[in-house]
Amino acid sequence: MHHRWLSWKALVSVMVVAVVAAVIATFSIVHFTTSGSDQGNEIAEAIDHSPGLLSSRQLPIAYVAEKLAGQDGEASSEILNGPSQEQYDARAYPHKYIASAQRIAAAHAFTSAAARAKTAAGQSALKRAQGLSTPAGWTEMGPRGGIQASQTTYTGTRAMVSGRTTALAIAKPCTITRCTLYVGTAGGGVWMTLNALSAHPRWTPIGTDIPSTAIGSIYLAPTTGDLYVGTGEGNGSSDNEAGVGLYKSTDGGATFSQVPTMYNGGDFAKDRSVASIAVDPANPKHMYVGTAVARHGASSVNGGRFTPPGAAKVGVYETVDGGQTWSQSLTEDTDVVVPRSPSGSDFFRGGISKVRFDPNHPGTVYASMFDYGLYRRVGTGDWKAIYTINNPGSETTTLSNRIEFALAPLHTGKTRIYLADSTYFNDTTAGLLRTDDATAGSPTWTPLSDPTPGTPGYGSYNFCTAQCYYDMGVSSPAGRPNQVFLSGSMQYGELRAFGGPGQSNGRAVTRSTNAGVSFTDMTNDAQPHENGLHPDQHTLVFAPGSGANVFFSASDGGIVQQKGPFVDRSGQCAKRGLSGAQLADCLQFLSAVPTQNNNDINQGLATLQFQSVSSSNNARLLQGGTQDNGTWENDRIQGWVETVGGDGGQSGFNPDNSAIRYHSYYAPQHDVNFHNGNPNGWDWISDPLLNSGETASFYTPFTADPVVGGTVFDGLQHVWRTTDNGGDEAYLQAHCNELTGDFSQPCGDWQPLGGGHGDLSSTYWGSRTDTGNYVVAIERATSDQSTMWAATRYGRVFLSQNANAANPDDVTYQRIDQVLNLPQRFVSGIAIDPADPHHVFISYSGYSAYRHGGHVYEVHWNPKSGTGTARNLNYDLGDQPVTDVIYSPTTKALFASTDFGVLTLAAGDTSWVATQGLPSVAVYGMTLSPSTKKLLAATHGRGIWQLPAY
């Protein structure tokens, strides 16, 4: 077993293969579950929290490990067992999938609560719940595009990022005075700007009448200019929200109406992704829609793995009457759900990635299909496969194969196509091909990629690494058929910051001007302080009329405006100590890079997917973890800053000293910072947790004690504890600092609580009917130093009255859920009454239809007698999963977060009403801020919001 005691200097000195091997060995011990306001001056006003990176531009080692794990990048850690998978499993348990009836009923329940809030009784309830004479609504705290500290970027230049962006569409004309760009996001809905060419475009959210914030495609009809939005993200990862249909706007996005998508008695777009849309230039009522396998079927961004029964077969659907009737135009064999499989095993085979009409040949249309190839149809004829992958339809490549293409009409009247096949070389290695006559009876395809370093074709080889299912794009600007751009994942193994030789800048986006023969690297620009792209690129569009010198790229970090002219920076290669093929690659890749590349135009976009939010006791400080975009902090003066990268889970503050704070990556991997969140000051503290081999959730219930300074808890199968912030500061800084530690000694001093009976998932505490049980909730009372409540994934609820015992083996528990007949479902939150540590409120995810019980309970427990009461507070909440619960000690109201917003139950009432002013978005975590007397909500796609409620 390898420990985490790895010298950083040794790490950067070895070859990438050694780095990956060390990372894999390190992480193999983890047992993952299977299952607003305008901030125009934010950039100028925000102050970076450090003097900058070291000369070697090192990155936090845990961040490196996450990115390199298996060389598949961050999406690989989530494709089978990510955070959204857990969210879905929690709702579906003990079933494997969530049926449409449950999702629809939950949405209707929230709608009813929103309607009740508008009545006189509802307004009265809101006033009493908030302790105000007039109900107040939620206000946005941002970040509306947040600052990435230099330590969290690969170039050492800080950036402005927003949440995962999945779709782009740009309107004609596009000039410096007016250029309309539409943006679709994974969880933040649809946004638009009228001045996309500006250095700081002004963004406006649109599509509030679209009942989903997960967007898969945006398309502007060629003759009418009608705007189409397809819901459901088609990229392959576990948090790709499935769709609720196809929507159309005829007024530039001011209003939308649903386009009927009914076929054979069902809605073919529901529970799927509308991944691509194509309208016939000769007939605006003639349209094709390509659907793909979105990874779950929930009604908001809460993820999952199983496709519900009754979901239509993926493929290409056609209408000739504007959607009144549809036919299934193209389909092949697809995956089926395997009920006993932990993932459902229904991956991407048969899904459509793109549909496009041929500009040179009216009536001819092309469609690319996962795990099969590229198809062509002429008029009303049959579809013909004009490119076929090796072993089409194979179950061995259903997870990894994706086909993407770009049309590049030639001036001769023929049609060129650039095509990327993610399994061209093997099951996980992509290659690029080209045909110069796509309408030929059997087009000839010329391979352009070469696996040999130093050759021209190496620039397109393996461009999306082993996660092409997640981020893969091929684009060619109109009128310039010799230009082709590739979008993919970051080539971490080539970056010096990740221990690579540095023969490229990462190849996140590459450009060819010689018909795909060779490529240059667009990832860094030519500015004195290089700006770099965010990893995981999803799509790219060109500014009309710019001659392909201005384009917009969309990634997990939002949107970047990139500009030519393109200049030679190959002189940098000599400074990197390269030789041979690596030097040849570098000279080619850097021979033409953008003069202005990473012009982040994310300022104003509030689309980050937050998992949690924490607040300090004695200062106006916040922290919040985001999916794939690190942990953020806000001091309410200088704005939001991402202080550490990677996945961001739970966070917290030392109650005695807010300069000491904590954050989590995914799994039980945590850092402490003794220096006000300085990005240079994060110290790794998680060796004992990882080395334990215990099962844990994707985001563990990492909890800072609200009263006892330095004490922090984490939940695996045991509750674990540290009482000194994870270790001595001097020791941690010397050996365990993420940037400068030597890692020659163990890092972290966590100890399991409860001795021989501390495993709360064990049979000691009752018969085990489900495997994979572990601690998912931990709360410490604020009224003493000893009372702790904990709960497990499958509904075990425990009370400890001596969580502060000096000897961790002496900590004892009482199990109360069986005595009180509480639901045996996922416990999503515990709120403790500050006036009585034995009076708590417990929330449950999961549907009552699948296992009995409500979603919110009030519990009184007498630890001396071992008895108590449990009152079901579901009332008119409906069968609606609750993700967290908060109790206001001043108004004695409850607040419950859901997949659609936040509800409240005023003291003494029996009716839940929706709080007002929050967008329709999933809220995954809440907290009360003692310093501001506000309730804070972490939304999964629209940032952090606050509400008077304390």
What are the DSSP calls for 137-164, one per residue?
A: --EEEE-SSEEEPGGGSSSS--EEE-S-
- The mean per-residue pLDDT over the stretch 222-240 comes to 86
- The mean per-residue pLDDT over the stretch 458-483 comes to 94
- The mean per-residue pLDDT over the stretch 803-814 comes to 98
SS3 of residue 409 by DSSP: strand
Provide the percentage of residues in the chain whose pLDDT is more than 70: 86
Residue 20 pLDDT: 28
Among 444, 440, 560, 433, CA closest to 484: 433
- For residue 33, pLDDT over 70 is answered with no
- For residue 345, pLDDT over 80 is answered with no
Question: Are 416 and 401 within 8 A, CB to CB?
Answer: no
Percent helix / strand / coil, the chain, rounded to 5: 15, 30, 55
For residue 273, what are its two tokens? 């992704």
Taking each continuous run of H as one helix and of E as one strand, the counts in the chain are: 11, 62
User: Which band of pLDDT confidence, cut at 50, 70 and 90, is reported for residue 932?
Assistant: confident
Residue 311 pLDDT: 87
- For residue 811, pLDDT over 80 is answered with yes
Among 356, 420, 452, 343, CA closest to 89: 343
- The mean per-residue pLDDT over the stretch 922-932 comes to 89
Q: What are the C-alpha distances in Å from 18 to residues 15, 22, 78, 343?
A: 5, 6, 23, 31
More confident residue, 110 or 229: 229
Tens of pLDDT, residue by residue over 514-545, are 999 999 999 998 888 888 888 889 999 999 99
- For residue 484, pLDDT over 90 is answered with yes
Buried b (16+ CB within 10 A) or exposed e, 220-254: bbbeeebbbbbbbbbbbbbbbbbbbbbbbbeebbe
Tens of pLDDT, residue by residue over 638-691, are 789 998 888 889 999 999 999 999 999 988 999 999 999 998 999 999 999 999
For residue 119, what are its two tokens? 């009545």
Alpha-helical runs (H) found in 289-363 = none
User: Which band of pLDDT confidence, cut at 50, 70 and 90, is reported for residue 45?
Assistant: very low
| Least-confidence region, from 88-97, 355-364, 458-467 | 88-97
User: Which band of pLDDT confidence, cut at 50, 70 and 90, is reported for residue 302?
Assistant: very low
Residue 65 pLDDT: 56
More confident residue, 767 or 755: 755
Residue 770 pLDDT: 65
| Least-confidence region, from 221-225, 722-726, 946-950 | 946-950
| Number of neighbouring beta carbons within 10 Å of residue 337 | 17
More confident residue, 861 or 44: 861
| Least-confidence region, from 16-30, 325-339, 367-381, 732-746 | 16-30
- For residue 895, pLDDT over 80 is answered with yes
Residue 295 pLDDT: 62
Residue 534 pLDDT: 85
Report for 41-55, 412-426, 529-543: range of highest mean pLDDT: 412-426
- The mean per-residue pLDDT over the stretch 24-51 comes to 28
Residue 101 pLDDT: 74
Residue 288 pLDDT: 98
Residue 153 pLDDT: 76
Residue 319 pLDDT: 98
Question: Reading across the β-sheet that carries 797-800, which strands appear in turn?
Answer: 775-780, 788-792, 797-800, 814-815
Question: Are 819 and 842 within 8 A, CB to CB?
Answer: no
User: Which band of pLDDT confidence, cut at 50, 70 and 90, is reported for residue 86?
Assistant: low
Mean predicted lDDT score pLDDT of the chain: 87
Virtual CA dihedral for 128, 132, 137, 143, nearest 10 degrees?
A: -110
Residue 340 pLDDT: 62
How far apart (Å, rounded) are the C-alpha atoms in residues 505 and 825? 47
Residue 16 pLDDT: 28
How far apart (Å, rounded) are the C-alpha atoms in residues 140 and 607? 12
| Three-state secondary structure readout of 874-920 | CCCCCCCCCCEEEECCCCCCEEEECCCCEEEECCCCCCCEECCCCCC
User: Which band of pLDDT confidence, cut at 50, 70 and 90, is reported for residue 920?
Assistant: confident
Virtual CA dihedral for 295, 299, 302, 305, nearest 10 degrees?
A: -30
Tens of pLDDT, residue by residue over 125-139, are 999 999 999 999 999
How far apart (Å, rounded) are the C-alpha atoms in residues 385 and 437? 15
Give the Cα-Cα-Cα angle 160, 162, 166 (nearest 5 degrees): 130
- The mean per-residue pLDDT over the stretch 707-721 comes to 97
Among 570, 569, 550, CA closest to 559: 550
- The mean per-residue pLDDT over the stretch 784-798 comes to 96
How far apart (Å, rounded) are the C-alpha atoms in residues 652 and 661? 6
Phi, psi of 132 (to 5 degrees): -125, 155
Among 877, 895, 878, CA closest to 935: 895
Residue 531 pLDDT: 81
More confident residue, 28 or 923: 923
- For residue 284, pLDDT over 50 is answered with yes
- The mean per-residue pLDDT over the stretch 257-285 comes to 95
User: Which band of pLDDT confidence, cut at 50, 70 and 90, is reported for residue 19?
Assistant: very low
Cα 422 to its chain centre, rounded Å, is 22
Provide the percentage of residues in the chain whose pLDDT is more than 90: 68
Question: Are 424 and 463 within 8 A, CB to CB?
Answer: no
How would you classify the pairing of strands 934-939 and 944-948? antiparallel
Residue 2 pLDDT: 26
How would you classify the pairing of strands 204-206 and 190-193? antiparallel
DSSP structure class, residue 581: H
Question: Are 923 and 939 within 8 A, CB to CB?
Answer: yes
How far apart (Å, rounded) are the C-alpha atoms in residues 800 and 811? 7
User: Which band of pLDDT confidence, cut at 50, 70 and 90, is reported for residue 627?
Assistant: confident
Residue 88 pLDDT: 66
Report for 17-31, 418-432, 585-599: range of highest mean pLDDT: 418-432
How far apart (Å, rounded) are the C-alpha atoms in residues 229 and 216? 8
- For residue 82, pLDDT over 80 is answered with no
Residue 35 pLDDT: 32
- The mean per-residue pLDDT over the stretch 165-170 comes to 96
**Amino acid identity for residue 448 in this structure:** L
| Number of neighbouring beta carbons within 10 Å of residue 408 | 26
For residue 6, what are its two tokens? 């790895």
User: Which band of pLDDT confidence, cut at 50, 70 and 90, is reported for residue 305?
Assistant: low
Beta bridge partners of 925: 938
- The mean per-residue pLDDT over the stretch 75-79 comes to 47
| Least-confidence region, from 400-409, 493-502, 656-665, 793-802 | 493-502
User: Which band of pLDDT confidence, cut at 50, 70 and 90, is reported for residue 6?
Assistant: very low
For residue 598, what are its two tokens? 């990473």
Residue 620 pLDDT: 84
Residue 62 pLDDT: 58
- The mean per-residue pLDDT over the stretch 205-216 comes to 91
The beta strands (E) that lie in 626-761 are given as 631-634, 640-644, 651-654, 657-664, 670-673, 682-684, 695-696, 703-704, 712-715, 719-722, 751-752
